[in-house]
Amino acid sequence: MAITSPPGTCRARGRTRCATQDNVLPSHTSGAVDEFVREVVPELQRRGLFRRAHEGTTQCVNLGLEIPMHTANMLILEAES
């Protein structure tokens, strides 16, 4: 496995919950994802840096963002005003 950010940077970002932009890339393709899930994900979960389950049904909800209004609904509101 290869982590594209230096270890100190990954640690610091993990502590501030800003680790979403780090890329973790397998150094080989055969079984790399399985190895990552088996070896790294449990440690990240133990540290509270990786969710065990998602609370919501959409990525917006999981990230705490408002669900954007559909374009058709925006056009209706614009036409009414």
pLDDT tens readout for residues 46-61: 998 888 888 888 888 8
Burial 15-42 (b: 16+ CB within 10 A, else e): eeeebeeeeeeeeeeeeeeeeeeeeeee
Q: Which residue has the tokens 């055969």?
A: 30
Residue 38 reports pLDDT greater than 50? yes
Answer yes or no: pTM beyond 0.75.
no
